Amino acid sequence: MNPYELAYQRSLSDPEGFWGEVAENLHWYSKWHKVLDDSHPPLYRWFHGGLINTCYNAVDRHVEQGRGGQCAIIWDSPTTGAQRHITYAELRDLVAMCAGALVAEGVTRGDRVILYMPMIPEALIAMLACARIGAIHSVVFGGFAPNELAVRINDAKPKVIFSASCGIEGGTVIPYQPLLHKAIERSTHKPDRLIIVRRPQAEVSFSSRLDLDYDSAIAAARAVDCVPLLATDPLYILYTSGTTGDPKGIVRDNGGHAVALKWTMDAIYDVRPGEVFWAASDVGWVVGHSYIVYAPLLHGCTTVVYEGKPVGTPDPGAFWRVITEHRISTLFTAPTAFRAIKREDPNADYLKKYDVGGAGFRALFLAGERSDPQTIQWAEHHLKVPVIDHWWQTETGWAIAANCLGLHRYSVRYGSPTLPVPGWDVRVMSEDGRLAPIGQSGPLVCRLPLPPGSLVMLWQREDRYRTSYLQAYPGYYQSGDAGYIDEDGYIYVMARTDDIINVAGHRLSTGAMEEVLLAHPDVAECAVVGVADSLKGQIPIGLICLKAGVARSETQIIPELVSMVRERVGAVAAFKTLARVQRLPKTRSGKILRGTIQKIADDKPYKVPATIDDPEILNEIKASLYALGYARKDNKDNNAGASDSDSW
């Protein structure tokens, strides 16, 4: 057996022995009483009784081992033309002072701190400062609108919010302070303090009693040491969209999270301490948490914080410049980024200006949405390195399935993220709730207990945690994704099973968008579905029915609706396409057939559901979708061979 097979089999047959050995690679103030606490299934906890500090393992440990002079963070900002290099020793001192500033504001172990930050080093410093003292951080993507931020403030109830004077999207400066104050006005919970990093691109006022200048807070602070924490203490809360539009606060612990993430850097990504690893993502998303901040630093790598885009900052050669200039060994990004590069530079002419191979570039990893074969093949052809599609989720925190380059490199099968990673026992369920045979599609599930590093709970929502992930298939985690496993064990992830759509790697709820549309006084009914998009993977489109007696035209109303979604959900939703229809297809019980609408828009086979109240309406919907640029007007064969089910 090769190293992957050995690791995978042992991780399932002897998980305590496997993960106990892996955990020895970290510093523990006190060892665990038990590797796996299985006393309250289906709620499992790892390294019960152990004392650890994630910040110490990610920063201080490397300094004490003589590597303080190594670069820990490279900040590269083509949007501002600035760069910054921070060594591990410098990072330790900055984090210790930032932690001291939090302590001065009364933040203690278990308190929550929200970060509403752009891609600057202070975002990482603030996250690590929270980990240093046992505060629980919750990072909110800076592009989210005040309403979304207010929801998270109310749920997490932070004592302090970290922010900056602005973020920069491409060439657009987005002032954050007005958005913050508007969110706090809307929230019922009020933080004690806003600590704001000044950026030269936007002025900031400190007239409010809440606002505190970051530099002043750091200058007045005293450095604090790392606090020993229980392995089972929460490290962070990260909100992900729920099917009702009510975000779910994913809780990650300290011990299992650190153990798993450090191990993945070697086993999955084949990266060694001291090398430069780049996750081209944002700290607001799980990829940013796991692979911009924690995993690279836990492993002793140099991590890159990039404030830019794959194209337009300034051109489609942006990624190649960063790889060459900073001698990056491995890049992890979303397929959307490479689709954008391919669209702007189909012959990879900009790549020819740089010597990425000479810089030591070895592998490209893609995740965040399903990677289409054409994009993978384009990258393979031009980069001449392994291009690895791997599957994971906000909830899991790291890859469920991957081609583990550090263990054994398997052949690529386009459309598959290859095999389950050690620790993950992946199965497919049939409609009757039994395990499906090889090759049959169905919901993808993972047998419990999940490995270290996965979610341990939803923030203050144990009941929702159970119903969302554990109830449908007892003994298994319900991933919310569907697919199949072939005869060689390769996993194929084909679709979502709920109303979460994936827009350029960002998981967003169509239900939340529908709620916004229904808030308009002229809208009676609506449906939002995700349709296939060659660049972003999916984009939302909406169908609306106006109330009787509305005199205004859709040309007046639709721009208002688009603006409302942009304000309340955020620009990341890419919501631009709407059509007015006279009625929506429904079942006799009143359920809108969103799945059927999506299939029509994507030109996929569908069968008219037996429960539909009026089959003729589907022709009207098809005409409306065709007018938007979707569906085929004269498609006569859509009904052939289609499923009768509608999972929406």
- Ranges of each domain in the chain: 3-308+390-445, 501-628
Which pLDDT band, with edges at 50, 70 and 90, does 648 fall under? very low
For 98-109, what is each residue's pLDDT tens digit? 999 999 999 999
pLDDT at site 646: 26
What percent of the chain clears pLDDT 90, i.e. is strictly above it? Answer: 71
**Fold annotation for 3-308+390-445:** Rossmann fold (3.40.50)
Least confident of 28-37, 172-181, 398-407, 420-429: 172-181
pLDDT at site 633: 52
For 143-188, what is each residue's pLDDT tens digit? 678 988 999 999 999 999 999 999 998 788 999 999 999 999 999 9
Tell me the C-alpha distance between 369 and 145, whole Å. Answer: 23
Question: 501-628 domain in CATH 1.20.1250.20?
Answer: no
Q: Helix 88-104 crosses helix 121-133 at what angle (to 10 degrees)?
A: 60
Which pLDDT band, with edges at 50, 70 and 90, does 61 fall under? very high
Higher confidence at residue 320 or residue 532? 320
Least confident of 289-293, 383-387, 461-465, 585-589: 585-589
Residue 437 CB burial class (10 angstroms; 0-12, 13-18, ≥19): exposed
pLDDT at site 320: 98
| Residue 369 confidence (pLDDT) above 80 | no
Least confident of 131-140, 323-332, 602-611: 602-611
640-646: long-range pairs with CB below 8 Å, 24+: 640/605, 641/605, 642/599, 642/604, 642/605, 642/606, 642/607, 643/606, 643/607, 644/607, 644/609, 644/610, 646/593, 646/594, 646/595, 646/596, 646/609
The pTM of the full predicted model, rounded to 2 decimals, is: 0.84
Least confident of 177-191, 360-374, 399-413: 360-374
- Mean pLDDT, residues 528-533 taken together: 90
Number of residues in the chain: 648
Tell me the C-alpha distance between 459 and 156, whole Å. Answer: 8
| Residue 605 confidence (pLDDT) above 90 | no
> Which residues lie below 8 Å from residue 324, measured CB to CB, with a gap of 6+?
354, 355, 356, 358, 359
> Which residues lie below 8 Å from residue 16, measured CB to CB, with a gap of 6+?
34, 35, 36
| Residue 279 confidence (pLDDT) above 50 | yes
pLDDT at site 588: 52
pLDDT at site 637: 39
| Residue 207 confidence (pLDDT) above 60 | yes
pLDDT at site 647: 23
pLDDT at site 243: 45
| Residue 443 confidence (pLDDT) above 80 | yes
| Residue 323 confidence (pLDDT) above 50 | yes
Kindly give the residue spans of alpha helices, DSSP state H, lying in 228-298: 255-267, 286-288, 295-298
For 445-468, what is each residue's pLDDT tens digit? 999 999 999 999 999 999 999 999
- Tally: H helices and E strands in the chain: 20, 32
| Residue 634 confidence (pLDDT) above 60 | no
Q: For all residues of the chain together, what is the average pLDDT?
A: 91
pLDDT at site 307: 96
Cβ–Cβ < 8 Å for 507, 515: no
- Give the β-pairing of 401-402 and 419-420: antiparallel
Cβ–Cβ < 8 Å for 160, 195: yes
| Residue 512 confidence (pLDDT) above 80 | no
Least confident of 48-57, 276-285, 589-598: 589-598
CA 98 distance to own-chain centroid: 26
CB neighbours (10 Å) of residue 431?
10
- Mean pLDDT, residues 434-441 taken together: 91
Which pLDDT band, with edges at 50, 70 and 90, does 505 fall under? confident
